[in-house]
C-alpha cells in the first residue's frame, strides 16, 4: 500500500510529525477533504480529522458551511494515536465556549432578539448568538388551534424572546415568545 502523503512527507518525516503533536497543542494545516462526518486536515504529511461536532459551538448542518477544501486553518490537537494513525482535532475549542459566558451576559427575565433556527411540532428553536440556542415550547406560543407553526414562523426570522430559565451546566435555555402587536 502506497501513500502519496507519506511520500510527500519524506522518509522519517511522518514519525517526526507524530512526535511533534501533543494534546492541547495548536498547529496549522490545510483542508484536504470535507465529508458529512467531518473535515480532514493535512498537517504536513499526516492527516487529522476535525469531527463535525468539533467544528463550531453552533449547529453545523454540513461541514462545508464552515470550511472549504484548500483553506488554511489553525486547529487544536485533542488526541494522537500513532498506532492507529489517528489524530483528533478541534476548530471550535480555539474560541471560548459561549455557554460558559452565558450567565454573565443574560439573566432570566431579559428580553432579547433571537433568530429562528428550526421549527418542530413541539416548538421553535431560536439562536441568541453562535452556539447558544433555546426552545420556545409550543404551549407558550399563542396561535389559533388550526394554524401550524411553520405558517407563522420561518427559519432565519428575527423574533423577540424572553429568557425563562438558564441551565448552563446542562446547556439548556428556555425561551418564551414576546408577542408584539
pLDDT for 20: 87
Lowest mean pLDDT among 5-9, 41-45, 52-56, 68-72: 5-9
Q: How far apart are the first and last CA of the chain?
A: 68
96/75: higher pLDDT: 75
Radius of gyration of the chain (CA): 21
141/2: higher pLDDT: 141
Sign of CA dihedral 154, 159, 162, 167: positive
pLDDT for 8: 58
pLDDT tens for each residue of 165-179: 999 888 899 999 987
Q: How many residues does the chain have?
A: 181
For residue 53, give every residue at least 6 positions away whose Cβ sits within 8 Å of its Cβ, in sequence order, or none: 60
pLDDT tens for each residue of 103-112: 888 999 999 9
Helix boundaries (H) for 21-67: none
Q: Does 51 have pLDDT greater than 80?
A: yes
Instruction: For residue 98, count other CB atoms closer than 10 A to its CB.
Output: 17
**Using CA atoms, how far apart are residues 165 and 147, in angstroms rounded to an integer?**
27
pLDDT for 14: 76
Q: Which residue do the cell numbers 512527507 mark?
A: 9
Q: Which of the listed ranges 69-78, 91-100, 163-172 does the model predict with the highest average pLDDT?
A: 69-78
For residue 129, give every residue at least 6 positions away whose Cβ sits within 8 Å of its Cβ, in sequence order, or none: 98
Q: How confident is the model at residue 180 (pLDDT cuts 50, 70, 90)?
A: low
Q: What is the mean pLDDT of the chain?
A: 88
pLDDT for 93: 95
For residue 1, give every residue at least 6 positions away whose Cβ sits within 8 Å of its Cβ, in sequence order, or none: none
Amino acid at each position: 500500500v502506497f501513500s502519496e502523503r507519506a511520500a510527500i512527507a519524506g522518509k522519517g518525516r511522518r514519525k517526526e510529525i507524530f512526535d511533534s503533536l501533543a494534546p492541547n497543542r495548536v498547529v496549522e494545516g490545510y483542508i484536504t477533504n470535507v465529508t458529512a462526518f467531518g473535515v480532514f486536515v493535512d498537517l504536513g504529511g499526516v492527516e487529522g480529522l476535525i469531527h463535525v461536532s468539533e467544528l463550531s459551538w453552533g449547529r453545523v448542518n454540513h461541514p462545508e458551511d464552515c470550511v472549504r477544501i484548500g483553506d488554511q486553518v489553525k486547529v487544536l490537537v485533542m488526541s494522537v494515536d500513532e498506532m492507529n494513525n489517528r489524530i483528533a482535532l478541534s476548530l471550535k475549542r480555539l474560541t471560548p465556549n459561549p455557554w460558559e459566558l452565558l450567565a454573565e451576559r443574560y439573566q432570566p427575565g431579559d428580553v432579547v432578539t433571537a433568530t429562528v433556527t428550526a421549527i418542530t411540532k413541539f416548538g421553535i428553536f431560536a439562536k441568541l448568538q453562535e452556539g447558544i440556542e433555546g426552545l420556545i415550547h409550543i404551549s407558550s406560543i399563542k396561535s389559533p388551534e388550526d394554524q401550524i407553526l411553520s405558517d407563522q414562523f420561518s427559519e432565519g426570522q428575527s423574533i423577540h424572546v424572553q429568557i425563562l430559565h438558564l441551565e448552563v451546566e446542562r446547556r439548556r435555555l428556555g425561551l418564551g415568545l414576546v408577542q408584539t402587536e
